[in-house]
Amino acid sequence: MAHDEPAASGAPAKLAIKNIGLMLSGDIGKPILDADAILAFLHGWSDRPRAVLDERPLAGAASRGADVFARECERCHGPQGTGGLFMHIGNVDLLSTASNGYLRYAIRKGRPGTAMPAFAQSAGGLLTDAQVDAIVTGIRTRWGKQGGAGALQNPPPYSASAAGNAAHGAEVFATYCSTCHGAGGKGNASASSIVDPAYLSLVSDQDLRTTVIAGRADIGSPNLCGDVAGKCMTAQEVTDVVAWLASQRVETPGQPYPNAAPGGPEKSGATK
């Protein structure tokens, strides 16, 4: 089974490049990076063959994996795999969807577009393949096995195989998510806005999908079976709601604001 990080393409990638250029330039409307040129370069990567995951049986020792995890992974993921803003690798529902091959690949090669670097010696890191195997074995032993007790049964695939239907995703959101996140995802007393432009500019579609499937137990966010009593979201519903969330990204999240004039409000004649 093949997986790979989604290729950088379309509005989200161009938006991210443009915003980085604006931040580096410090001058509204005058980015120093050519988003179109960089995106064209990134599109060239789409011709690469998709990664074939190494799904051989794990050979590492869990005790050794715990030691390597503490040394190499704990600073970002936390001692219980639920650290900070990074991927909550200790989430049993996440581990229900991610295969050993995917975990191997993510550790060896990193996750492009995120803070996750490559750790394998073959990719410029410090870990041998045996150490990577030991980490994956330790993760499975400590926090959950695919199909094990407490894990999601028959969860949707970790990655989407096709584009979602954003229009249908809006209906899915209203059914499963609006109770906490409010109408249109703008937030209410139970949870914050999930369509905040700054937030959506910082997360990938895969991050959104992972959160929808596995939830975030550390902040009380349920998994795909915890929103409507006795009913889980289907794989297509997950894909569609992620497509709807992605469609809520805007051209200029946060500063600079769309209507801001060069020089600020004083020079533009705007009133406070």
Same domain, 234 and 177: yes
Mean pLDDT of 5-15: 49
Same domain, 102 and 79: yes
* Contact between 205 and 242 (Cβ < 8 Å): yes
pLDDT value at 225 more than 60: yes
Give the range among 85-94, 97-106, 244-253 with minimum mean pLDDT. 85-94
CATH number of the domain that 173 lies in?
1.10.760.10
pLDDT value at 150 more than 70: no
Same domain, 113 and 89: yes
Give the range among 27-36, 114-123, 186-195, 202-211 with minimum mean pLDDT. 27-36
Q: What pLDDT is recorded for position 20?
A: 54
- pLDDT per residue over 56-78, tens digit each? 888 888 889 999 999 999 988 88
Tell me whether residue 43 is in a domain: yes
125 alpha-carbon distance from chain centroid: 22
More confident residue, 267 or 90: 90
Q: What are phi and psi of 221, to 5 degrees?
A: -85, 120
Tell me whether residue 253 is in a domain: no
Nearest to 178 by CA among 201, 169, 214, 160: 169
* Contact between 101 and 146 (Cβ < 8 Å): no
How long, in residues, is the chain?
Answer: 272
Mean pLDDT of 35-51: 54
More confident residue, 12 or 82: 82
Domain range for residue 129? 62-143
- pLDDT per residue over 106-141, tens digit each? 999 998 767 889 999 999 999 999 999 999 999 988
Q: What pLDDT is recorded for position 269?
A: 45
* Contact between 6 and 112 (Cβ < 8 Å): no
Look at the chain and report how many structural domains it folds into: 3
pLDDT value at 9 more than 90: no
